[in-house]
Amino acid sequence: MTASWYVVQTRPNSEELAASHLKRQGFTPYLPRYQKKRRHARRIDLVPRPLFPSYLFVAFDTEADRWRAVHSTVGVARLVCHGDRPAPVPSGVVEGLLKRQNEEGFIALLARPTFTPGQPVRLTDGAFAEQIGLYEGMSDRDRVTVLLDLLGRKVRVTADSDTIEAAG
């Protein structure tokens, strides 16, 4: 049998620690990261952040490797399992992420769709899911402002930019 990819849930902010300890034990960890813009003291810089906070991938062969050791690895909260067996990641998922990495090893995030002010949009998540409103604009922190018509009043709602789509 050959090695497959599995998901490891890490302790909060321990992705790097867990990955290094898994590697030290002979496993092949993969922590997909992206570069996030951070504003601090009138400066903007890029900091590496996990693409999936508190999660990473690890490759092993359940028949040949001592995979139960993953559970007791420093920084690891648990190995994601179905019953008492690790749940494999569907084929192509990790490989697809690896293909999207740039030269520095960071995942290139897809550009968010751009909307024009006044364009009808649908909220896809949260308390106002499935509501249709008018796009007003985008704030500095990847949040959008949408004008909703609720109970006969115009209400301004702020939401994550990835929770809206074009209404059509």
Task: Write down the pLDDT at residue 63.
Answer: 92
What are the CA-CA distances from residue 112 to residues 96, 109, 142, 143, 161 (Å)?
Answer: 19, 9, 9, 11, 8
pLDDT of residue 166: 86
Distances (CA, A) of 126 to 74, 83, 142, 163: 35, 31, 16, 8
Identify the residue whose tokens are 């550009």.
111
Pairing of strands 76-79, 55-60: unpaired
114 near 121, Cβ under 8 Å?
A: no
| Cα separation, 54 vs 4, whole angstroms | 20
How much is the pLDDT for 157? Answer: 84
Domain boundaries, the chain: 4-99, 120-166
**CATH entry 3.30.70.940 includes domain 4-99:** yes
CA angle (135 as vertex; 45, 37 as ends), nearest 5:
5
Distance CA 50, CA 30 (A): 11
Q: Count other Cβ atoms within 10 Å, centred on residue 145.
A: 16
CATH, domain range 120-166: 2.30.30.30
**Number of C-alpha atoms within 13 angstroms, CB side, residue 98?**
10
Across the 168 residues of the chain, what is the mean pLDDT of every consecutive 10-residue run?
Answer: 90 97 97 83 82 95 94 96 93 92 85 79 84 82 79 81 80
Q: What is the pLDDT of residue 108?
A: 78
In this prediction, residue 141 carries a pLDDT of 58
Half-sphere exposure of 145 (CA within 13 A, CB side): 10
